[in-house]
Amino acid sequence: MNIINGLKRNVFVLLGWLVWLVFTLAHLELGPEMGLNVMLAAALMIFIVMLGCVFTVNRHAEHLSTLLKEPFGTLILTLAVASIEVSLMLQIMMTGDQNPSMLRDTVFASLMIMLNGMVGLSLIAGGWKHFEQTFNLRGALSYLHLIAPLSMILLVMPSHTLSSEGPTLIPAQEIFLGLLCIVVYLLFLFMQTTRHKELFDQSEIFTAEPGMNEPAPIQIHNNRVVLISAIGLIISVTPIVLLADFFGGFINYGIETLDAPIELAGLIIASLVLIPESLSAYRSALDNNMQRSVNICMGSVLSSIALTVPAIMLATGLQDLKLMIGLTGADSTLLYASLLTALITLMTGRTTMLQGHVHLMLFVGYLFLIFYP
């Protein structure tokens, strides 16, 4: 019975390995030689299988985070999500026209999806059901305190540097910014999971004085269970990485054939990776746990910036690929508006449906500007 239940829970992982095996042995590639209808059906199948694998990865990572406690639990969860995002981006960047703006488009899409789209939907859903919801003000602002400068340094500053032309950075600047992201994120992770864990709990239980909550000792109750979950996590991540090659080829071909905006590739990747976390944030808001919803949305944005950017910079640097990082056109204005709106939303510690509509309006504006820049 346990084996059957395990197979049911990991059915998409099994399908992922099977699809990859069939495509590899048959030397299949998503391209015009397959015919348009067959290619679309194959791409849709791969997307659904990869999405199911992403859900399975999140389940294994959350189980590990429960077993290992903090800070290892949070680190495993964020690393699992970041590894999927990085693998998808690299596969697309290293095929087709080697899209140099993939990093910028994906990070910006992740920021718009979570900071505007999911925050907006969560506030509307939670506000409709519970009228007004509360969260820990200091914890939410701690996220934004890092997201705002990192996003502007990484997405706006490259368009104004003098060492290189266009929205690019020289290798020395990339190394500096990559190291900055890693150091800042590690410091934040230490604060979030040890000394100041109370900042990220519901505001009603934030009653302790600073320094009173000492970090609890890490306890691993069952090494066998931990090992099984870790193996399950690795087995679930691997088919996503392997299928990324086929799926990336389809995205490149589709954009080139349809003459679609190149930013769509970043939106597709970010959506695939963030759907499970987005559903968790939405459900948390409906359950009147706005603190968890805020933690998921803000934490996803921060990890996307602080972990994905250094990894892509390192990989493209080794491959001598050029990166276009700085935002162009109206995107920088949209970023400023999003950060300002997030600050106004979070600064009271209370949320209503009205705030959600404003965030959702910005997300719709982002989608509109992709097609009409």
The larger pLDDT score, comparing residue 2 to residue 312, is at 312
CA distance 89 to 73: 25
Q: What is the pLDDT of residues 2-38, one digit of tens each?
A: 555 555 667 888 898 898 888 888 777 666 666 667 7
Phi, psi of 351 (to 5 degrees): -130, 150
Tokens of residue 322, six digits:
């050029």
* Mean of per-residue pLDDT scores for the chain: 80
Residue tagged 């080697």 (tokens): 98
- Which of 172-176, 249-253, 363-367 is the least confident region? 249-253
* pLDDT in the model for residue 207: 45
Query: Residues of the chain with pLDDT > 70: what percent?
Result: 83
CA distance 307 to 185: 8
- Which of 35-44, 114-123, 259-268, 354-363 is the least confident region? 35-44
**Cα 119 to the center of its chain, rounded Å:** 14
* pLDDT in the model for residue 359: 92
Q: Which domains does the chain have, with CATH numbers?
A: 2-212+223-371 (1.20.1420.30)
* pLDDT in the model for residue 220: 44
Cα dist. 162→158, 330, 333 in Å? Answer: 9, 21, 21
CA distance 199 to 292: 12
Under the banding of pLDDT at 50, 70 and 90, the label for residue 214 is: very low
Read off the amino acid at residue 370. I
Tokens of residue 35, six digits:
């015919």
* pLDDT in the model for residue 243: 83
Label residue 123 exposed, middle or buried (CB < 10 Å: 0-12, 13-18, 19+).
Answer: buried
- Judge whether residue 371 has pLDDT over 80: yes
* pLDDT in the model for residue 39: 77
- Which of 86-100, 136-150, 270-284, 350-364 is the least confident region? 86-100
3-state secondary structure of 372: coil
Yes or no: say if 107 and 321 are a contact pair by the CB < 8 Å rule.
no
The larger pLDDT score, comparing residue 325 to residue 82, is at 325
* pLDDT in the model for residue 24: 83
The larger pLDDT score, comparing residue 209 to residue 151, is at 151
Under the banding of pLDDT at 50, 70 and 90, the label for residue 205 is: very low
- Judge whether residue 340 has pLDDT over 70: yes
Under the banding of pLDDT at 50, 70 and 90, the label for residue 252 is: confident
- Judge whether residue 341 has pLDDT over 70: yes
Phi, psi of 219 (to 5 degrees): -125, 130
- Judge whether residue 109 has pLDDT over 90: yes
Read off the amino acid at residue 37. N
Q: What is the pLDDT of residues 125-136, one digit of tens each?
A: 888 888 888 877
* Mean pLDDT in residue range 158-185: 88
Q: Would you list the DSSP string of 212-243?
A: -SPPPPP----HHHHHHHHHHHHHHHHHHHHH
How many residues does the structure list for the chain? 373
Listed in sequence order, the residues at least 6 apart from 312 whose beta carbon sits closer than 8 Å to its beta carbon are 86, 89, 90, 93, 102, 103, 323
C-alpha gyration radius of the chain: 21
- Judge whether residue 343 has pLDDT over 80: yes
Closest CA to 74 of 371, 305, 310, 296: 296
Does the predicted TM-score (pTM) go above 0.95?
no
- Judge whether residue 64 has pLDDT over 90: no
